[in-house]
């Protein structure tokens, strides 16, 4: 620029243009210089704008890359969910096929057993002693085969239910992880609608710490041990415990096994009943028994909502058989019921009994339905007990089979009766309180669907 200025000055003064031209040049020269400077500033501005656009483009590319990675991860989760559904469905189908095969075997065995009985009847009618003996032998074998197949059928059914529950739980967890939320009243939490889930704790984990409460009260809080037949059974208060103590006392040969003396049937130390409890053993011996594969360990439980209600009706309701005081149902539920291993055993959580958090039980029978009758057969089979022990000798006239006269454990009856006391209109807030304080039992013993039935009925009242 300086050089040009000098050249221009030299040219101007050397050639000495006319005065008019010199005047025009002097006037235009500053404006040319301003235009030149403006061009330079425009170029700098364009460079800055270009740099800004580049930064914006880089940021957009980075966000696009991040979103792509997120989409890819989400796609991976959905793929895993699909694979999980397929694997679990295949496994459940295998279990169902196994159960169908065992059912077919049971039907065949039933037909064979009926044929044996017919053969025995014919032999008796003819007076054929040899034919009678042969038929008796065949019938004994058939009966043993029938019991074995029934046991296999029960085990297959239980395995199928457990597999189906595990499948539903795993699918629900996968759906939750993939961000797929179920709509209201759609199946979740193992087939239970959001109606019941609303009362449950999100992300609930079953407690595993055992405080040793099974040693506190040997009559109610520890399982009964029968070393002769290698049977361990946990009888929980307000869960048909009286019937099962009678079962074990008759098995041990006590003549007064059917007594109504509560000092024996409702013992508070285990001594009056004559039975042996796990608390009678040392800690090491108790561990050996509860981990011995030759022992059959059984547990009887009850719907937590109906069990708590039964405890109130039996002890505190107007006209209750035992009359422990006058406490209303809402006061009982709010003040007596706690989510701890505390309080009276009639309404304390079932998970606090018998070291349930500590040891694994082979057979868990729910008091509702026919599961207790199935447990009696399974115990007789495992303990090598004559099946006539289960089939006869029970009831008022001692001619019935075990629990034949028991008509109080049908699910629909229990749900409809209990729902009256969990109605929001009559007892607001009680349903939520009881569910939350018995949640461990509801989840541990798979009572979600039973609770759902009570919730549905209670909402209609």
228-267 pLDDT tens trace: 999 999 999 999 988 999 999 999 999 999 988 877 877 5
Nearest residue to 101 (alpha-carbon basis) of 44, 149, 62, 136? 149
Alpha helices, DSSP H, located in 322-447:
329-331, 371-382, 388-391, 411-419, 430-437, 439-444
* 3-class secondary structure, 365: strand
Q: What is the DSSP letter of 394?
A: B
Residues 6+ apart with CB under 8 A from 342: 348
- The verdict on pTM exceeding 0.75 is no
- Point out which residues pair with 296 in neighbouring strands: 231
Closest CA to 303 of 416, 442, 457: 442
Q: What are 334-366's pLDDT values in tens digits?
A: 999 988 888 888 999 999 999 999 999 999 999
Single out the residue of 117, 379, 390 nearest to residue 229, CA to CA.
Answer: 379
Look up tokens 């011996």; give the residue.
285
Alpha-carbon gap, residue 216 to 353, rounded angstroms: 10
User: Which range, of 93-97, 186-190, 391-395, 438-442, averages the lowest pLDDT?
Assistant: 186-190
At residue 369, what are phi and psi to the nearest 5 degrees? 75, -145
Q: Tell me the sheet residues that pair with 387.
A: none
pLDDT confidence tier of residue 411, bands split at 50, 70 and 90: very low
Q: What CA–CA distances, in Å, run from 60 to 51, 52, 53, 71, 193?
A: 14, 12, 11, 16, 43
Q: What residues have CB less than 8 Å from 400, skipping those under 6 apart?
A: 392, 394
């Amino acid at each position: 620029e300086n050089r040009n200025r000098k050249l221009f000055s030299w040219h101007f003064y050397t050639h000495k243009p006319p005065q008019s031209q010199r005047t025009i040049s002097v006037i235009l020269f500053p404006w040319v210089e301003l235009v030149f400077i403006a061009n330079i500033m425009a170029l700098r501005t364009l460079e800055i704008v270009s740099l800004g656009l580049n930064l914006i483009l880089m940021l957009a590319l980075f966000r696009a890359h991040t979103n792509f990675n997120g989409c890819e991860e989400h796609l991976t989760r959905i793929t895993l969910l699909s694979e999980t559904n397929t694997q679990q469905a295949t496994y459940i189908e295998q279990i169902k096929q196994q159960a169908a095969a065992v059912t077919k075997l049971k039907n065949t065995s039933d037909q064979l057993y009926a044929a044996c009985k017919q053969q025995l009847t014919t032999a008796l009618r003819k007076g054929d002693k040899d034919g009678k003996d042969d038929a008796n032998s065949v019938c004994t074998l058939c009966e043993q085969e029938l019991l074995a197949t029934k046991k296999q059928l029960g085990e297959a059914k239980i395995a199928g239910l457990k597999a189906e529950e595990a499948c539903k739980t795993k699918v629900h967890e996968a759906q939750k992880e993939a961000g797929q939320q179920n709509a209201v009243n759609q199946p979740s939490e193992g087939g239970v609608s959001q109606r019941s889930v609303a009362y449950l704790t999100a992300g609930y984990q079953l407690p595993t710490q055992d405080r040793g409460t099974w040693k506190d009260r040997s009559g109610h809080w520890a399982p009964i041990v029968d070393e002769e037949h290698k049977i361990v059974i946990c009888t929980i208060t307000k869960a048909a415990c009286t019937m099962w103590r009678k079962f074990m006392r008759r098995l041990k040969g006590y003549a007064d096994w059917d007594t109504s003396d509560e000092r024996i049937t409702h013992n508070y130390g285990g001594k009056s009943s004559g039975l042996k409890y796990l608390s009678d053993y040392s800690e090491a011996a108790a561990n050996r028994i509860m981990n011995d594969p030759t022992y059959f360990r059984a547990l009887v439980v009850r719907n937590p909502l109906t069990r708590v209600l039964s405890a109130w009706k039996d002890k505190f309701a107007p006209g209750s058989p035992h009359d422990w005081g006058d406490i209303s149902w809402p006061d009982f539920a709010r003040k007596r019921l706690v989510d701890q291993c505390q309080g009276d055993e009639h309404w304390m959580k079932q998970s606090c009994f018998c070291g349930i958090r500590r040891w694994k039980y082979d057979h868990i029978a729910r008091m509702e339905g026919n599961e207790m009758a199935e447990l009696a057969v399974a115990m007789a089979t495992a303990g090598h007990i004559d099946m006539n022990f289960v089939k006869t000798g029970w009831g008022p006239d001692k001619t019935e089979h075990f629990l034949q006269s028991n008509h109080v454990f049908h699910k629909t009856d229990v749900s409809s009766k209990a729902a009256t006391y969990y109605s929001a209109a009559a007892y607001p807030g009680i349903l939520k309180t009881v569910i939350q304080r018995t949640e461990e039992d509801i989840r541990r013993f798979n009572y979600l669907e039973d609770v759902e039935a009570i919730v549905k009925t209670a909402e209609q009242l």
